[in-house]
Amino acid sequence: MILQLARHSMLYLRILFLMAPVATLFASAAASAAQPNIVLMMGDDHGWEETGYNGHPHVKTPVLDEIAATGLRFDRFYAAHPSCSPTRASFLTGRHPNRMGTFAPGWSLRPEEISIAHLLGQAGYQCGHFGKWHVGAVKAESPVNPGAMGFDEWVSHDNFFELNPSLSRNGGPPEAFQGESSEIVVREAMRFIDRTRNAGKPFFVVVWFGSPHEPYSGLPDDLALYDDLPAKYSRMVGLTSNETGGPTKRSQGEVLRERYAEITAMDRAIGTLRKHLATHDLRDDTLLFYCGDNGTSPDAALGFPHRGTKGQVYEGGTLVPGLLEWPARVSQPRVTKFRACTSDLLPTLCAIVGQSPPNRPLDGIDLAPVFDGNMAERPSPLYFWEYDTSGLDRAKLKPWIAPELQKGTTPLVKRMGGKATRDFTNYRHPTVTKDDYRGPRAVIDGSYKLVVHDGKLAPKLELFDLETDPAEKANLCDAKPEVAATLQSKLRKWQESVLSSLTGADYQVK
């Protein structure tokens, strides 16, 4: 009997030994499923209509078109704000930028904010940022540089950049890089991916392109694709001179030729990254995402199919391309009309990797059910708000961050105040007044959108049904006053929450 028991024990141990590699394999597969690699990309001033797949008459974006045809296409994807710095703050934090005083371009984040990189780093990801930052200085001593916001490595610029950019590597002095800017930042991202892969870790990569923000420049072969445009668009538009860094006026056809060359180059760089992932057998389990940071800039807007441009809370200012590719989870091509937003990225990624979102008010929601086709309509409204900074008495407000730490170092073509670099600002806002509610704002709930502009005596209200009127032409306020009143009440209540955050109250939550 003892001998028989011993034999059974030995057999049991042998089975365990033989099964161990299988168990390890399944455990490894489960870990991989729970930790997909993640690449989030964003264009600078790239509006919804400036893609081939959305029917643009001129611009060529074959790579984005392919992603749209094979992955998940968001036909109603929004930037959280109609300008760049605020949208980038929402992208990183899942919160509306006014909550942290990132009111406009050149207004920084606050060091107390919790970013996607912070959370994914806790989940074991190696995090890298490449390209435009524009939510604070990228230098080493800045308390809101990419490293302070959770990124392990970065090759970044304080603002936007053109051909042959100067970028800071991990907060060091600016380095001159020769070549097309989108190609440069993608090349740096691929090197980071390779190092991370060799170390056996999942990667989280953010690539924020400098294109197609003005001033424009392009490679000869890309420019040649659009040689017919100068003859088609003769209207004069204002933008920055590449020669002087100051304002100038040029024909829109010449401007579009250069702008579209930048978009095509950016599209090609995205293709290079996708091929790199495929070559290293990483594509299937890599979540790859692309969007713009706001609508098309006024110098390049052709007036269709939406109302407004960058800097406005109408659809033309906030609707942007939104594309997701993740073959392991989105195995069949799909188009969704779900209204999603840059603020949704943080809660979505938290859900995917099993991290708890920050214990503070978030404006984004988890989009994972949309990936699986299990959620067709947004359960909560979308809000937009351009805070009116004109009434701020900056002399009486204390800086949130010491001004010396907010000074940028990486030069760019466009000069402001005679400077080729950019500085940032953020203020302490301890109390809230009625003037703090001002500024163009909007709310979308279901198919209805209310737009509010401040008037001398009373706000100007516009109500649109986006389902039947996506161009926002017919004001329904007189026909549906109860809908307008309900949306206005929701918008005001949301503003109260945002302004509470602005005072710093969220950072006191234990």
Cβ-based neighbours of 415, under 8 Å, separated by 6 or more: 244, 245, 246
**Domain annotation covers residue 424:** yes
CATH classification at residue 417: 3.30.1120.10
**Domain annotation covers residue 393:** yes
430 & 374 share domain: no
Q: Which of 321, 348, 349 is nearest to 68 (CA)?
A: 321
**Domain annotation covers residue 109:** yes
Total of domains in the chain? 2
**Domain annotation covers residue 328:** yes
407 & 303 share domain: no
352 & 491 share domain: no
- Report the alpha-carbon distance of residue 346 to residue 89 in Å, rounded: 11
Which of left, alpha, beta for 136 (phi over 0: left; psi -120 to 50: alpha)?
left
Mean pLDDT by 10 residues, the chain (510 residues): 40 37 35 78 98 98 98 98 98 98 98 98 98 98 98 98 97 98 98 97 98 97 98 97 97 98 98 98 98 98 96 98 98 97 98 97 98 95 97 90 98 95 97 96 98 94 98 98 98 98 88
- Report the alpha-carbon distance of residue 191 to residue 204 in Å, rounded: 13
**Domain annotation covers residue 205:** yes
25: Cα within 13 Å, side-chain hemisphere: 5
CB 453 within 8 A of CB 460: yes
335 & 432 share domain: no
**Domain annotation covers residue 248:** yes
Token pair of 447, please? 């198919």
- CB atoms < 10 A from the CB of 389, how many? 15
Report pLDDT for 10: 37
CATH classification at residue 221: 3.40.720.10
Q: Which residue, of 379, 398, 425, is where some domain finishes?
A: 379
Report pLDDT for 25: 33
59 & 107 share domain: yes
65 & 112 share domain: yes
263 & 318 share domain: yes
**Domain annotation covers residue 15:** no
Q: Which of 83, 90, 132, 79 is nearest to 104 (CA)?
A: 83
- Report the alpha-carbon distance of residue 80 to residue 314 in Å, rounded: 12
User: What is the pTM for the complete model shown?
Assistant: 0.93
240 & 115 share domain: yes
Cβ-based neighbours of 321, under 8 Å, separated by 6 or more: 43, 46, 47, 48, 50, 51, 54, 64, 77, 290, 291, 292
CB 2 within 8 A of CB 168: no
117 & 174 share domain: yes
53: Cα within 13 Å, side-chain hemisphere: 22
Q: Which residue, of 379, 410, 437, is where some domain finishes?
A: 379
352 & 398 share domain: no
DSSP H helical ranges for 354-480: 368-371
Q: What is the b/e burial string over 89-109, where b = at least 16 CB atoms within 10 angstroms of the residue's CB?
A: bbbbbbbbbbbbbbbbbbbbb
Report pLDDT for 393: 86
Q: Which residue, of 337, 356, 379, is where some domain finishes?
A: 379
443 & 363 share domain: no
Three-state SS string over 27-43 comes to HHHHHHHHCCEEEEEEE
**Domain annotation covers residue 325:** yes
- Which domain covers residue 182, as residue numbers? 37-379
**String of DSSP letters for 60-122:** --HHHHHHHHHSEEEEEEE-SSSSHHHHHHHHHHSS-GGGGT--STTB---TT---HHHHHHH
295 & 397 share domain: no
